[in-house]
């Protein structure tokens, strides 16, 4: 081991190699969750020739080598599972060339994203590269070796597609050039007019060779950038809007994200659209095109929702008619004030569900129906269900508690499913109604399904006018 240490010092100098425990501890891990494993040496070369000599030494001594940029890929890729050498590339950080007319840059294998960005901003403000959202200290060679994605991926492909040439040290120590730099001084293309051999290295995570130089395509950097954002809870419609937006071929980037917390984000897909231009006119023109796509989206949404509501309202109308038919004759003849409600239930929901009496009258009618139930001598189905000791009762209560919990934690769709089952069984209706009303008052006033479920609960609870009001609210929200 001491011979190897000395050999490494001979190659990179004593400042470029270490086997101090604190260094080995640091280089044994990345910030991800995988178990650490210590290397035997950390070596930081400064040139392709030094990399070559290190690889040759490692080959002779049968020592594994793991190249490392900034160690931020978080997947354990730079953890040296078999010990050996971690080759820290960060001292190879020179920007060797920017060919502005041919729009490419040539960089050493440890150059960071932030360094290239800063260099271009200062020296070539009309040029940019496809910057990932990774920390700026991460390296460009590492990123292309894992097919990274950046701000221009939407338009031009993976960052590895933007490579215009490579210099690589192979496992036996040969130095190999790929693409146009293998036949001349220019780094404009990794393939044509030669066979494209870059696939032997790009995507191989450093396992087939160590990238010591990389040519990278540059793109126009526009003066103005703007952003639009819209949010939908319809995951099924997201691919279509993305298809339409990308069809414009005028957007810099589109970012779709969702996250469960905080609660306001739950169930929502945020679509962030970036676009750029060199003039105000360009940047003002693009939002009009985006708006057209959004209008198409809204009409698709309205069609789908209308289909759903038609289906569910059809079922609800049938249920109401059945309930009315089942009502005891003397109850339906109790007084005239019930008639508008019962008549309403037989009409088409779309055309006839106008509130026809004052809220006061409606309240009276409902109270009478409920009190009709209260004086019944037969134990109700609901009573049976909640009778203490009954197995179904405790299952029902568990489900109710579960649904309440789901609702307050923002899992609205799931809570609706559980509520619907309870409503079907005709149990805990009052409790369900008050919970949904509370949620609509405070958190989800524009949730169509929640309004429909409230309507269902009122319907089963024989509060017909309130059921109609809730369904009307759902319909209003749709239009
Ligand atoms: C907050 C955050 C956001 C991120 N966002 C993005 C993103 O938008 N897009 C994206 O693509 N990634 C993203 N990443 C993942 C990752 O950070 C990047 O892919 C980054 O480019 C990795 O660079 P690195 O220098 O840290 O690579 P490292 O982790 O050091 O290395 C990655 C792989 O490349 C190999 N390697 C390193 N240098 C060389 C070399 N010179 N020659 C050959 N092989 C080499 C290593 O052995 C390893 O297999 C993100 C990470 C974080 C933490």
CA of 80 to the centre of ligand 1 (A): 16
Beta bridge partners of 43: 17, 87
Mutate to test the pocket of ligand 1, among 72, 253, 274 (most ligand atoms within 8 A of CB): 72
Burial class (CB in 10 A: 0-12, 13-18, 19+), 196: middle
Whether 54 and 138 map to the same domain: the answer is no
pLDDT, residue 316, reads 66
The CATH code of the domain that includes 56 is 3.30.43.10
Domain's final residue, options 205, 220, 235? 220
293, 296, 300, 301 alpha-carbon torsion, rounded to 10°: 70
Rounded Cα distance between 383 and 467, Å, is 23
Half-sphere exposure of 324 (CA within 13 A, CB side): 18
Residue pair 105/95 in contact (Cβ under 8 Å)? The answer is: yes
Q: Which atom, in ligand 1's list, is nearest to the CA of 206? A: 44
Whether 214 and 108 map to the same domain: the answer is yes
Of 79-88, 148-157, 396-405, which one has max mean pLDDT? Answer: 79-88
Query: Over pLDDT 90: what percentage of the chain?
Result: 59
Residues 6 or more apart whose CB falls under 8 angstroms from that of 244 comprise 293, 296, 297
Nearest to 134 by CA among 71, 186, 182: 71
Q: Which atom, in ligand 1's list, is nearest to the CA of 159? A: 11
246 alpha carbon, distance to own chain's centre? 17
Residue 336 forms part of a structural domain: no
pLDDT at 230 over 80: yes
> Tens digits of per-residue pLDDT, 236-261?
889 999 999 999 999 999 999 888 87
Rounded Cα distance between 327 and 369, Å, is 10
Whether 77 and 189 map to the same domain: the answer is no
State the average pLDDT for the chain. Answer: 84
Mutate to test the pocket of ligand 1, among 42, 68, 152 (most ligand atoms within 8 A of CB): 68
Whether 75 and 101 map to the same domain: the answer is no
Instruction: Look at the block and give the residue holding tokens 């489900």.
Output: 399
Q: Which atom, in ligand 1's list, is nearest to the CA of 75? A: 29
Ligand 1-lining residues (CB < 6 angstroms): 66-74, 77-78, 89, 109, 132-135, 138-139, 141-143, 145-146, 148-149, 205-206, 210-211
> Tens digits of per-residue pLDDT, 291-315?
998 888 888 888 887 777 667 666 6
Provide the angle, in degrees to the nearest 10, between the axes of the packed helices 238-247 and 280-326.
Answer: 160
Residue 270's pLDDT band (cuts 50, 70, 90): very high
CA of 471 to the centre of ligand 1 (A): 53
Rounded Cα distance between 330 and 314, Å, is 28
> Tens digits of per-residue pLDDT, 407-464?
988 889 999 999 999 998 888 898 899 899 989 988 888 899 999 999 999 988 888 8
Domain's final residue, options 52, 69, 88? 88
Omega prior to 254 cis, within 30 of 0? no
Nearest to 433 by CA among 413, 407, 398, 395: 407
Residue 330 forms part of a structural domain: no
Residue pair 14/44 in contact (Cβ under 8 Å)? The answer is: no
Residue 320's pLDDT band (cuts 50, 70, 90): low
Nearest to 460 by CA among 319, 318, 309, 359: 319
pLDDT at 340 over 50: no
pLDDT, residue 462, reads 85
The CATH code of the domain that includes 404 is 1.25.40.10
Whether 264 and 199 map to the same domain: the answer is no
The CATH code of the domain that includes 291 is 3.30.70.60
Q: Which atom, in ligand 1's list, is nearest to the CA of 31? A: 53
Whether 82 and 110 map to the same domain: the answer is no
DSSP codes of every residue in 195-258: ---GGGTTTSTTSS-EEEEEEEE-EE--SEEEEEEEEES-GGGHHHHHHHHHHT---SEEEEE-
Tell the residue nearest (CA) to atom 28 of ligand 1: 71
Residue 333 forms part of a structural domain: no
Give this prediction's pTM: 0.68
Domain containing residue 229: 225-300
Helix (H, G, I), strand (E, B) or coil at 172: coil
Rounded Cα distance between 263 and 265, Å, is 5
Q: Which atom, in ligand 1's list, is nearest to the CA of 67? A: 47
Q: Which atom, in ligand 1's list, is nearest to the CA of 201? A: 43
Can you read off the two tokens belonging to residue 201?
């290295």
CA of 120 to the centre of ligand 1 (A): 21
Q: How many structural domains are present in the chain?
A: 4
Residues 6 or more apart whose CB falls under 8 angstroms from that of 125 comprise 221
Residue 430 forms part of a structural domain: yes
pLDDT at 1 over 90: no
Tell the residue nearest (CA) to atom 39 of ligand 1: 142
Whether 207 and 184 map to the same domain: the answer is yes
Residue 183's pLDDT band (cuts 50, 70, 90): very high
Burial pattern 369-382, b for ≥16 Cβ within 10 A else e, equals beeeeeeeeeeeeb
CA of 173 to the centre of ligand 1 (A): 24
> Tens digits of per-residue pLDDT, 82-119?
999 999 999 999 999 999 999 999 999 999 999 999 99
Rounded Cα distance between 478 and 476, Å, is 5
Nearest to 328 by CA among 362, 368, 360: 368
């Amino acid at each position: 081991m001491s011979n190897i240490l000395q050999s490494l010092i001979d190659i990179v100098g004593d400042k470029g190699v270490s086997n101090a425990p604190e260094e080995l501890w640091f280089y044994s891990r990345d910030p991800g969750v995988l178990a650490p494993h210590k290397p035997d040496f950390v070596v930081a070369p400064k040139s392709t020739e030094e990399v070559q000599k290190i690889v040759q030494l490692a080959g002779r001594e049968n020592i594994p080598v793991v190249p490392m940029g900034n160690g931020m890929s978080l997947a354990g890729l730079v953890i040296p599972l078999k010990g050996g050498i971690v080759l820290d590339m960060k001292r190879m950080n020179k920007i060797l060339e920017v060919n502005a007319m041919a729009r490419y840059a040539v960089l050493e294998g440890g150059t960071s994203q932030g360094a290239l960005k800063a260099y271009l901003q200062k020296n070539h403000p009309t040029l940019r590269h496809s910057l990932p959202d990774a920390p700026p200290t991460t390296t460009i060679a590492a990123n292309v070796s894992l097919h990274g994605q950046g701000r221009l991926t939407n338009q031009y492909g993976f960052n590895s597609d933007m490579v215009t040439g490579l210099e690589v040290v192979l496992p036996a120590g040969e130095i190999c050039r790929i693409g146009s730099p293998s036949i001349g001084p220019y780094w404009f293309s990794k393939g044509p007019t030669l066979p494209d051999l870059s696939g032997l290295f790009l995507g191989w995570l450093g396992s087939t060779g160590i990238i010591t130089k990389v040519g990278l395509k540059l793109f126009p950097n526009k003066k103005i950038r703007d952003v639009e954002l819209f949010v939908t809870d319809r995951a099924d419609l997201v691919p279509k809007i993305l298809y339409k937006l990308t069809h414009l071929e005028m957007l810099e980037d589109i970012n779709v994200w969702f996250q469960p917390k905080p609660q306001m984000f739950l169930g929502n897909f945020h679509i962030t659209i970036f676009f750029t231009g060199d003039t105000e006119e360009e940047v003002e023109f693009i939002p009009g095109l985006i708006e057209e796509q959004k209008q198409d989206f809204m009409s698709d949404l309205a069609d789908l929702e209308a289909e759903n509501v038609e289906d569910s309202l059809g079922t609800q109308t049938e249920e109401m008619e059945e309930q009315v038919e089942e009502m005891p004759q003397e109850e339906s003849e109790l007084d005239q004030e019930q008639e508008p409600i019962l008549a309403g239930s037989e009409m088409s929901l779309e055309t006839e569900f106008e509130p026809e009496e004052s809220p006061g009258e409606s309240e009276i009618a409902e109270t009478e129906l409920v009190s009709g139930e209260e004086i019944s001598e037969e134990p109700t189905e609901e009573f049976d269900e909640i009778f203490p000791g009954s197995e179904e009762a405790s299952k029902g209560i568990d489900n109710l508690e579960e649904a309440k919990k789901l609702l307050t934690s923002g899992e609205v769709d799931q809570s609706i499913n559980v509520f619907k089952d309870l409503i079907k069984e005709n149990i805990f209706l009052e409790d369900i109604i008050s919970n949904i009303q509370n949620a609509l008052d405070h958190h989800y006033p524009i949730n169509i399904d929640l309004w429909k479920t409230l309507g269902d609960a009122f319907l089963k609870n024989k509060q017909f006018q309130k059921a109609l009001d809730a369904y009307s609210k759902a319909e209003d929200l749709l239009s």
